[in-house]
A = this chain, B = another copy of it.
Amino acid sequence: MTIYDISEKAGVSIATVSRVLNGSSNVSEKTKKKVLDVIRRYEYTPNAFARGLGLNTMKTIGVMCADSSDLYLAKGVYYIEQKLRDNGYDSLLCCTGYELAPRAAAMDLLINKKVDGIILVGSNFVYEKESDNRYIADAALQVPVMLLNAELDAPNVYSVVSDDFTSIYGATLEMIQSGISDIVYFYNSTSYSAQKKLAGFVAAMEEQKLSAGAESCQFYRGSHEDIPAMAEHLKKLHDKGVSFHGVIASDDTLALAALKYARQMGFSVPEDFSVSGYNNSLLAMCSEPELTSIDNKLETLCQHLIGTLMGVLNGNEMPKKTVFSGETIKRGTTR
């Protein structure tokens, strides 16, 4: 069933059918009804490919993330998919892992599929080395690229971020003021956002004349899901003679690992040992006591990101960067 069949059965031209289909105003109520009747009777729906060919868009946005099963990224993807749909767009999902090469390849794929825009979910898409970010700038030559929780200064690239520096800075300060001075910052990423967080920790510590040297900044490399291994990392640190009674984690998983470590050591939390997480994910409710964690307002970020993208697609001038602040959700792992 094509537009020709409908036009024939309705006794009008294909142009009229097309007008009805696209809600054009210049059609008399009478013919409109006539056409609509035929369309409904035959359950006709226009061919999306033909339409795409003519309009050069199929109202699809490419959504890339390292790993859509990661608790935090999954939430991001979820919100974004919802809000895109609300705006009449579909989401083409691409899980790329954390390496550069497959990401660049995925980008090419998306652009060849003629998506109207690309959204990168997660700060890990922006690398430290400037030249590694060429793949983003290149893609932005073709379609707008939106970064969730990452920043990159390039034409047609837009960023919506949470103020990670300030959030971690605040959490660290609070922990210090609660009377703990031997704090370890525990992280597993070197992305732009991760660097901001680290800087927030260091700033707060130094401001309070506390050491924030290599030993207090613990980088964990390994699976993002292997909590026992993360706990083991802290145990080894302790065994090396480093003493600490507080952990600021860059992620709820790492915070949970810190909690596991504390329990293994026989510390009671939060009396002897404090832990602060990040993301305020489901995990924060899983432990006993429940995790103090920083909520970075992911849904707000996503909402804003989609708003910005829609603006860009409509040809409006939109802000290149928007910053929201996070909020500490205090629960049982801090005093």
Residues of A participating in the B interface, judged by any CB pair closer than 8 Å: 45, 47-50, 52-53, 56, 58, 60, 63, 67-69, 71, 74-75, 77-79, 81-82, 85, 90-95, 109, 112-114, 225-228, 253, 256, 259-260, 263, 282-283, 285-288, 290
Residues of B within 8 A of A58 (CB): 49, 113
Complex Cα spacing A95 to B295, Å: 23
Known contacts being A69-B78, A114-B49, is A228 close to B90, with CB within 8 Å? Answer: no
- Contact at A81–B93, with CB atoms within 8 Å? yes
Contact of A48 among B68, B114, B225 (CB under 8 A): B114
Complex Cα spacing A68 to B93, Å: 11
Known contacts being A53-B47, A90-B113, A286-B286, is A95 close to B81, with CB within 8 Å? Answer: yes
Residues of B within 8 A of A259 (CB): 288
What is the chain B residue whose CB lies nearest that of A69? B78
Complex Cα spacing A302 to B219, Å: 33
8 more A-B residue pairs beyond the given contacts A227-B286, A282-B283, with a C-beta to C-beta distance below 8 A: A49-B52, A68-B78, A78-B95, A81-B95, A227-B282, A260-B288, A283-B283, A286-B287
Residues of B within 8 A of A77 (CB): 68-69, 93
Residues of B within 8 A of A69 (CB): 74-75, 77-79
Residues of B within 8 A of A49 (CB): 49, 52-53, 56, 58, 114
Q: Nearest Cβ distance between residue A112 and chain B, in whole angstroms?
A: 5
Q: Nearest Cβ distance between residue A331 and chain B, in whole angstroms?
A: 11
Residues of B within 8 A of A52 (CB): 49, 52-53
- Contact at A45–B112, with CB atoms within 8 Å? yes
- Contact at A113–B48, with CB atoms within 8 Å? yes
Contact of A74 among B74, B82, B288 (CB under 8 A): B74
| CB pairs A–B below 8 angstroms (25 shown) | A45-B112, A48-B113, A52-B52, A53-B53, A60-B92, A67-B78, A68-B68, A68-B74, A68-B77, A69-B75, A69-B78, A74-B74, A77-B93, A81-B93, A81-B95, A85-B94, A91-B93, A92-B92, A225-B282, A225-B285, A259-B288, A282-B283, A283-B286, A286-B287, A287-B288
